[in-house]
């Protein structure tokens, strides 16, 4: 479980996160909603250790991880797909995916796991193409594939469906295809914390809720939270 308590973050004098607290449980998809500039990306960067939280506590699987560097968080089972993708434009698609295996030993990190190509067939087709030559939506699939390659227990996605055509969004999030796709591929609100159960277990959070007022994004998560002015203003029932 991810537990955030009284998180504060500033950029200079701007107080962006103001005592944010929430929990997100394994097996759930938690969506974070909020208007532009409200601090969604800032929160996700804090969770990944890309910017240090000024005050408060971030706990993952019972361990306080505030002092963990990003690579240590990856080793702890957290993966992050940043807003804007940040793939390596000069590396091939395959090389980008191999980067996602960096938390494994050399023998395990030699080949891209097959389930990534099952989930995103376009990446197989374009294996040898440079990442920077992919379309925006294809790059987004590459960024998600790279994150999934580390086989995370917590997947953090920032604006994951930005630039992806509806049919691919449906495929990623679909209740379809292989068990792998089902286990890894659920999607996605504006910013999403994605959890999966440990290997071999189903994901109870995969059934979308239809009974809350989060508008068209309501099908994308099992829980959602809305932010405004640095605070949480609404929480799912």
Ligand X SMILES: Nc1ncnc2c1ncn2[C@@H]1O[C@H](COP(=O)(O)OP(=O)(O)OP(=O)(O)O)[C@@H](O)[C@H]1O
Q: Which residues bind Mg ion (CB under 5 A)?
A: 40-41, 83
CB of 95 to ligand X, least distance (A): 28
Residue 53 vs 101, nearer CB to ligand X: 53
Name which of Mg ion, ligand X, none residue 38 binds, using a CB cut-off of 5 to 8 Å depending on partner kind: ligand X
CB of 130 to ligand X, least distance (A): 27
Long-range contact set of residues 32-37: C-beta below 8 Å, sequence gap at least 24: 32/189, 32/190, 32/191, 32/192, 32/193, 32/224, 32/225, 32/227, 33/189, 33/190, 33/191, 33/214, 33/217, 33/224, 33/225, 33/226, 33/227, 34/190, 34/226, 34/227, 34/228, 35/228
Which entry of Mg ion, ligand X, none binds 42, CB below 5 to 8 A by partner kind?
Answer: ligand X
How near is the Cβ of 83 to Mg ion at its closest, in Å? 5
Angstrom CA distances, 99 to 48, 106, 132, stand at 17, 12, 15
Return phi, psi of residue 72, to 5°: -70, -35
11 binds, among ligand X, Mg ion, none (CB under 5 to 8 A by kind): ligand X
CA distance 142 to 94: 9
Q: Which is nearer to ligand X, 37 or 62 (CB)?
A: 37
Query: Interface with ligand X by CB under 6 A: which residues?
Result: 11, 16, 34, 36-42, 83
- Write down the least CB distance from residue 63 to Mg ion, Å: 27
- C-beta nearest to Mg ion: residue: 41
Binding site partner of 140, from ligand X, Mg ion, none, Cβ cut-off 5-8 A by kind: none
Shortest Cβ distance from residue 4 to ligand X (Å)? 15
Per-residue CA distances from 222 to 219, 230, 234 (Å)? 8, 23, 15
Locate 207 and state its tokens.
Answer: 């059934």
* Pick 34 or 173: Cβ nearer ligand X: 34
Smallest gap from Cβ 226 to ligand X, in A, equals: 12
Angle at 205 between CA 199 and CA 207, to 5 degrees: 120
Partner whose binding site includes residue 37, from Mg ion, ligand X, none (CB under 5 to 8 Å by kind):
ligand X
For ligand X, which is the closer residue by CB, 36 or 107?
36
Residue 11's beta-bridge partner residues? 14
Binding partner of residue 189 among Mg ion, ligand X, none, CB under 5 to 8 Å per kind? Answer: none
CB of 39 closer than 8 Å to CB of 231: no
Q: Which is nearer to ligand X, 164 or 203 (CB)?
A: 164
């Amino acid at each position: 479980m991810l537990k955030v308590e009284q998180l504060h973050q500033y950029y200079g004098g701007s107080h962006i996160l103001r005592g944010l607290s929430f929990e997100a449980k394994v097996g759930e998809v938690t969506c974070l909603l909020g208007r532009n500039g409200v601090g969604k990306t800032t929160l996700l960067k804090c969770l990944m250790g890309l910017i240090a939280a000024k005050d408060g506590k971030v706990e993952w699987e019972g361990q306080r991880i505030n002092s963990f560097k990003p690579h240590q968080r990856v080793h702890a089972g957290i993966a992050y797909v940043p807003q804007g993708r940040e793939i390596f434009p000069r590396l091939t698609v395959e090389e980008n995916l191999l980067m996602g295996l960096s938390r494994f030993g050399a023998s395990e990190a030699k080949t891209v796991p097959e389930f990534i190509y099952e989930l995103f067939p376009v990446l197989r087709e374009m294996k040898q193409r440079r990442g920077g030559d992919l379309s925006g939506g294809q790059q987004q699939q590459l960024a998600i594939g790279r994150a999934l390659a580390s086989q995370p227990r917590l997947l953090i996605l920032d604006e994951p469906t930005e630039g992806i055509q509806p049919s691919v969004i449906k495929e990623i999030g679909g209740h379809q295809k292989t068990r792998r796709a089902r286990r890894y591929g659920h999607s996605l609100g504006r910013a999403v914390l994605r959890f999966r159960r440990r290997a071999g277990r189903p994901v109870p959070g995969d059934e979308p809720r239809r009974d809350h007022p989060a508008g068209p994004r309501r099908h994308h998560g099992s829980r959602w939270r809305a932010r405004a002015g640095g605070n949480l203003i609404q929480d799912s029932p």
